[in-house]
Amino acid sequence: MKMSIKSFLSITALFLITPAWAGLDESITRLQSEWEQIKYKQPADKQEKAYEALTKDAAAVRAEHPDRSEADIWYAIALASQAGAKGGLGALSLAKEARTVLEQSLARNPEALNGSAYVTLSSLYCQVPGWPIGFGDKDKARELLNKALALNPNGIDPHYFMGDCLYRAGEYEKARASLETALKAPARPNRPLADEGRRKEIEALMVKVKEKLK
């Protein structure tokens, strides 16, 4: 199970934020940067320990901001990533905790970080084994991704995960269309490493999709 998956305040809003909001924004930026370095720069055999440390860091940020969905989301992303690196049944408890946190975040503010909770939760439903082992449900994953795309129709992540989910479901033509759209997504400010890494993942998955379409 590989899982793996942020919004910046506008310039005008920068003059209105409280110190607590400013602190959270800085923490989210740091967590995001750490996650990108682990996912796209760390060797695979070192990622589990690195994600474990990131999860502890994200838990501390969440404890400082218990009412902020942004902190929930990045704690869940760290948990899900740790689960993906760990793999096997031992990762299921981490995935279940991530699911619970994301559901709480969505209940509070579904639009936080451009709907990132929907994207991360969808990846869990798509990649975790189904009943009786886990809670995986590809139909549920697609439903969540459609909600993410409604909030972020041009985002690289929701289109990539939709393509991945469709590929896993054997819907290869639709998967190719989603991945082609993902490759056309605009660059994200201050996230060149994440964009580069995600595009490589999209291209690798596209090769698999085209093989199935031959």
Written as six digits, the tokens of 86 are 């760990």
pTM beyond 0.85: the answer is: yes
Encode pLDDT of 145-156 as tens digits: 999 999 999 999
Tens of pLDDT, residue by residue over 139-181, are: 999 999 999 999 999 999 999 999 999 999 999 999 999 999 9
> Do you find a cis peptide bond into 132, omega within 30 degrees of 0?
yes
For residue 147, give the H/E element and its range.
helix 138-151
**What is the residue-wise DSSP string for 68-81?**
-HHHHHHHHHHHHH
Residue found under tokens 């279940």: 96
**What are 32-89's pLDDT values in tens digits?**
999 999 999 999 999 999 999 999 999 999 999 999 999 999 999 999 999 999 998 8
Determine the distance from the C-alpha atom of residue 122 to the mean position of all C-alpha atoms in its chain, rounded to a whole number: 9
The pLDDT of residue 21: 41
11 has pLDDT over 70: no
